[in-house]
Chain A
Amino acid sequence: MDSLRIPILKIGDVLIASIQVALHDASAVQFKDDLLQKIHDTKARGVIVDLTALDVVDSFIGRLIADIAAMAGLMGTRVVLTGLQPAVAITLVELGLELPRVLTALNLEKGLAMMQSLTEESGDDAS
């Protein structure tokens, strides 16, 4: 179902994806595949996934987010999750999915700032 594909945008060498609708199993898996593929294709340094619009998660989506973070990390990409809602945060914690290697920020703005400062710190920019 192509119409439910989550768009992944690129700013510099950072990828940004904003989850706007309730993720159904199929589209969630599709998103994971798309994202990992795009990271590989663009050699992105960082990925920001904005979850502001996600009201509720179940164990499937929860694990999927954890998997995406882990996989992206393995590919050498920093992952920042932004805009997690209280209810979702509580569910993830109760499910035991803490996502320890994932960075978090309150919103997309701060997420971008964080990503920026991280890239500057490590001096990865080829300039």
Chain B
Amino acid sequence: MTTEIQLFGAFLNEHLDDGLDQLVDHVTQIGEHYQAMPQNDLRHALRQSLQHIADSLVHNDRAALTAYTQALSQKRAAASFTLLEAIAAMDLFRIYVLDRLDVFRQDGASWSLAAQRQLEDVLRVFGNYFVSGFDTALQQARAELRMQAEQLEAQHRTIRDLSTPILPVYEGIIVVPLVGLIDSYRATQIMEHLLQSITTYQSDIVIVDITGVPVVDTNVMNYLLQTARAVRLVGAQIVLVGISAEVAQTIVHLGADLSNISTLANLQESLQYALQQMRQRMPRHLYQSKGG
């Protein structure tokens, strides 16, 4: 026996084009994405959705409807339709179906509360699946963001490693050519990495070349001086190289005590100085075994 809901489904299928143009008009006004759609495409899509709902009512089957709606939803989400646009479209669609129901009942068809609930149920399922694609799109976006954050972190690590190049040029001597801007974060990195290297290489002399640091203001100078003090405490000697006239002024203005820091004009001079220092200490080292 054909039920009320099946009869309505058949009715929908027979009158798919009634009032469809009006619906297309209303949907177009929802937002920019629906507006940008070619009217024929939108008309076709709405007609298809109606057909699927009608079929679902006639055959009492949800599978085809949910599959179709899910695919449609993903398509809309991928095309950057907003969730609000989708919800608005859903609302208009629902009103349209209820309008069709009015016409169906005017012709004298019976309609029970049970049938009404069944119809609402199908519309609800359609609505839920129509927004599901947006949730999927959101999850995907979040996953992409996480990946990007990881990539960024990996790049940061590379920058960190590159930012404090330690060159063990000779036994007991390391050269640290600093290049690029130094902020407080990098300054801490430099200090920790440098101190660790001194302990690892057991270097007596550390030559820090700041020629490649474009801006050496009082902040940067303070970081460098902190590092120099820490290097001395660990037991190594620090030689600062590459101080320009401007930087020299900064140091003097800071009134910093440089009694424990040697400064030289350039890398060559500092290497010569360092080798000389090592030679002076060598006699004692000659009789000692290598390694700490």
Q: Interface residues, chain A, CB within 8 Å of chain B?
A: 81-86, 88-90, 92-94, 98-100, 104-107, 109-111, 113, 116-117
Contact = CB atoms under 8 A, between A and B. Distances in A.
Nearest to B237: A104
Contact of A100 (B192, B259, B285): B259
Contacts of B231: 89
B236 interface: yes
A105 to B, nearest CB: 4
12 contacts: A82-B235, A84-B234, A86-B230, A93-B226, A93-B229, A99-B233, A104-B233, A106-B198, A106-B203, A106-B234, A106-B235, A113-B285
Contacts of A83: 235
A72 B67 CA distance: 86
B204 A89 contact: no
For chain B, give the interface size range: 20 to 34
Contacts of B292: 106-107, 109
Contact of A107 (B196, B202, B259, B281): B202
B195 interface: yes
Given A100-B257, A107-B235, 6 more contacts: A84-B234, A90-B191, A94-B226, A104-B233, A104-B234, A106-B292
B278 to A, nearest CB: 12
Contacts of A90: 191-192, 195, 230
B288 interface: yes
Interface string B91-111: 000000000000000000000
Contact of A117 (B203, B233, B259, B284): B284
A114 to B, nearest CB: 9
Contacts of A111: 235
Given A84-B235, A86-B195, A100-B257, A93 B284 contact: no
Contact of B235 (A92, A93, A104, A116): A104
B199 interface: yes
A84 B234 CA distance: 5
B256 to A, nearest CB: 11
B284 A89 contact: no
B233 A98 contact: yes
A85 B233 CA distance: 9
Residue from B226, B234, B288 with most neighbouring chain A CB atoms (10 Å): B234
Across chains A and B, which 8 residue pairs bring their CB atoms closest together, nearest first?
A86-B195, A106-B235, A89-B233, A89-B230, A104-B235, A105-B235, A113-B284, A93-B230
B80 to A, nearest CB: 50
Nearest to B260: A100
B232 interface: yes
Contacts of A94: 226
A100 B256 CA distance: 13
A58 to B, nearest CB: 16
A110 B195 contact: no
Nearest to B280: A117
B233 A113 contact: no
A62 B198 CA distance: 21
